[in-house]
Amino acid sequence: MKTLIYKYCFNASDSGDIKFAKSLILIISICCSFCGLVWSGIYYFFFGFGLTTLLPLIFVVIVISSIFISHFTSNYKILVYAQLACITWVPAFIQWSLGSIHVSGFVIAWCFLGPIGALLFLNEKDAKIWMVMFILILGITSIGVPTFSMDGLKVTENARTIFYLMNIGVPSSVIFSATAYFMKDLIKQKERNFSLLQITNEKNKEIEKSLKREKELGTLKTNFVSMVSHEFRTPLTTINANSDIILRYSDELSRDDINKRLEKIKSEVLDMTVMLEDILIIGKSDAQKLDFNPVSLDIVSLIKDIIAEYQLSEPKSRTIIFNVSTPIIMIPADKKWIKHIVNNLLSNAIKYSGEDQQIEISIKKEPTGISFSFKDYGVGISKEDIAMLFEPFYRGENVGEISGTGLGLVILQKALNLHKGKIEVESEIGKGSNFRVTLPAV
């Protein structure tokens, strides 16, 4: 059957919908032609060879030949119109051959397949025309009762019962099956549309996400440019000025003065290197390329060592008060990243507080790992700024002339993510800040 449909129905250029409609009209035509043969046989049984017996055969001949014509002319509409015309008019003529609706067993019920077929294979406007045609046939039959033959007189009570069963049962089953088939297709279509909608929604979300990311990158770029121009200009000016003086007045300057200026240049270069390293880390972490190699280490001595090292490089000394709950606390951590965290917290505490103000560092063993906090009594941070501290290049409104890039805490957050740790900030403007880091033991 499938091969037959493929051979006689489809053209290479047919769309899925057309193929579907074509195969359906072909199946219906074959089924109705089969019914035509059966009807003709039954009428022959009751009436012998007459007009009523001949009409269903005419139906079969027209429809079957239109199958071939439509195939060879590649115009399936021929089959549709032939089928609709025959299914509407042949039962009407059978009706008029027999007489009243009662005598025929309501054979014009078949005519209703006309508007239904038009609805399925043509369009709503055509379907209305076929419906009007059906009503017209019904009207003519009910009012006028034209009779073309004497076959109606031969209809017995039993024959009428059989005719009723045939003419109501079969067309209504055809209508039901066609509707059910189309409904199934409609539901499938609906499901397809629904999943398409879901895919579209997901794609939209992805687009929205990348647009947001694009926007963020734009802001990042702007902030980066303004940060670089601001933060690099000062050290570059200092380097330029000092090297200029050394070059021009080397004969007049004392050895001590030259050394001081060289030290200044070195420290500015170091600061710029740190800034560049921070920028590189931000770039790398975007591509998720940060290397992380945790080993079991004593975090207490590590923090103390980092602070001692930091203090050695700092010209101005600061009072640092240590508060350690347990002398040795072993946790898995990456030394390089812990150094970043501690250096950032300590340098910020020093940077954002007065020279005479002390800094308190507490290290505590926790049930799930370890926590350490850096407390200072400096400028503090407003609530609005706390919410934004971990955004790249963000700096508090009260930093004034204190230099900085707004990258330290962003890198610190990334280092904490690698360790599955977290940070909490408590601060009050003018009173100081407390940064508390928690790291898990495993």
Q: What does the binding site for ligand ADP look like in residue numbers (CB under 6 A)?
A: 344, 348-349, 352, 376, 378-381, 389, 395-396, 399, 404-409, 433
User: Cα–Cα distance between 356 and 202 in angstroms, integer?
Assistant: 57
Q: For the purposes of burial, counting CB atoms within 10 Å of the CB of 199, is it exposed (0-12), middle (13-18) or buried (19 or more)?
A: exposed
Q: How far is the CB of 409 from ligand ADP (least distance, A)?
A: 3
User: Cα–Cα distance between 380 and 428 in angstroms, integer?
Assistant: 5
Q: How far is the CB of 280 from ligand ADP (least distance, A)?
A: 15
* Under 8 Å between Cβ of 111 and 58: no
Residues in contact with 142: Cβ distance below 8 Å, sequence separation at least 6, in sequence order? 101
The nearer residue to ligand ADP, 4 or 269, going by C-beta atoms, is 269
DSSP letter assigned to residue 307: H
Q: How far is the CB of 337 from ligand ADP (least distance, A)?
A: 15
* Under 8 Å between Cβ of 300 and 331: no
Tokens of 182: 């189309």
The nearer residue to ligand ADP, 243 or 347, going by C-beta atoms, is 347
Q: How far is the CB of 352 from ligand ADP (least distance, A)?
A: 3
The nearer residue to ligand ADP, 117 or 380, going by C-beta atoms, is 380
DSSP letter assigned to residue 150: S
**H helix runs in 48-100, sequence order:** 51-72, 76-98
Identify which of 111, 85, 82, 107 has the alpha carbon closest to the alpha carbon of residue 96.
107
Q: How far is the CB of 287 from ligand ADP (least distance, A)?
A: 21
The nearer residue to ligand ADP, 100 or 382, going by C-beta atoms, is 382
The nearer residue to ligand ADP, 338 or 381, going by C-beta atoms, is 381
Specify the pairing of strand 422-428 against strand 359-366: unpaired
User: Cα–Cα distance between 137 and 93 in angstroms, integer?
Assistant: 10
Q: How far is the CB of 395 from ligand ADP (least distance, A)?
A: 3
The nearer residue to ligand ADP, 243 or 358, going by C-beta atoms, is 358
Residue whose tokens read 């934004």: 388
The nearer residue to ligand ADP, 58 or 399, going by C-beta atoms, is 399
The nearer residue to ligand ADP, 22 or 340, going by C-beta atoms, is 340
CA distances from 98 to 51, 155, 221, 400 (A): 9, 9, 90, 107
Residue whose tokens read 């640092």: 320
The nearer residue to ligand ADP, 105 or 404, going by C-beta atoms, is 404
Q: How far is the CB of 362 from ligand ADP (least distance, A)?
A: 15
User: Cα–Cα distance between 276 and 62 in angstroms, integer?
Assistant: 88
Q: How far is the CB of 376 from ligand ADP (least distance, A)?
A: 5
Q: How far is the CB of 228 from ligand ADP (least distance, A)?
A: 13
* Under 8 Å between Cβ of 110 and 167: yes
Residues in contact with 108: Cβ distance below 8 Å, sequence separation at least 6, in sequence order? 91, 92, 95, 101, 137, 138, 141
